Structure 1
């Protein structure tokens, strides 16, 4: 029983059978609908205490995998709807795996591709040209625009339309890059994020393919 903060930290866990509802089974016996899961919850005095409890759990799992002789990589991951500033997964590198991770053997950094961060590469800047309006008839893709203007896709911008919890969202990104929807979801703090339909784009008064 917890009578005061002096009784903290308190860690409570249980192991039970759970079910995952997925559109398709995959992984055979490695990822079945019914599985055993351990949940652990910590009650701490402050955030510093929470971090200490979290790090103890990471070390406990490392010890378990070491004793089992299972080589793993602890990678940063997205916490999803659960939230929180920290989330990690233990990955086993295997040819049958489905996830992709980024790992630096020198510094030890490891993360899912959906959450990984990198140092921005130096961009060779050129003297800006005078601003002018250029007609691009029939050009509706970044590939076509790059060819039409004779510039690399990295020197263009593209617009991607999303619906976030029913709100229309416009994302502007460099032409040669793709939108990381996990990071976008974390920025918007939305529950449902999806690409906007053609009808929703038209309703916003925008012509897809020439919005930028």
Structure 2
């Protein structure tokens, strides 16, 4: 309903709300062999949205405990930005167990010495299921902030199609795109971490202000082709086409065709046009199919038939119909066509 757009790394959403009710006392329940959110939710017959998911990361060498609603995934880019860290990765089971936490039944309750980052999804709803930090055991009726503390509550969730738009409250939709360029305003964050400094005229050191600006040429070409093609091949826009003209002489064993094609090629190059001269002795069908596949904007056909009227057949790749142009002055006329 609006113009909001973002890639998955940055996209925000209005998460579905869960009704809050009376906060019930914590209850310990046995969950033998249940270690995943799906298993626990099915075993206890609760929606995954009524569970808390605990995910462990190593951020710049330190263990981080991320807590999020069970039906939502952690967006690691958002988490990295919230932590202001240079490196972030999932913790191994051994790294988690070293701290005394029980993998598969981790709990935010009673955790000390570990930084806890919670997604804001846990602030709505009540009486969640969470780990008990005991094997084969979970807790019912866990509530934030009654039962556990966190160091920071932030949006660390991966936005999903169907959730609310942060601008217009409509529904988000998802589509595949191609990132053809980016601008990262890094500021002084990385330079401070790396000690990248400069000295001003007064002899005072300051962190370098950094930015990253990129254009993906390969991706840009892919985006153009995705936008401009048909079932026969590419349709290059003139502005970025590898050649302006596809010169296609037919029946090159005919001396008049060969000589005329050479003369036209010379005249076109003299006009500053970039020409792909197909001098293969292939059939018309093969050459026409290859011309459509390559997608060069203008096809110039010289054949015994066109020479009967002292002309060449001109066909734009983007159009179905062709036209005949007199050979006299054809290079100048084609130059004009490339400016249209």
- TM-score, scaled relative to structure 1: 0.48
Larger radius of gyration: 2
Higher relative CO (Cα under 8 Å, sequence separation at least 6) belongs to: 2
Q: Tell me the TM-score normalized by structure 2.
A: 0.30
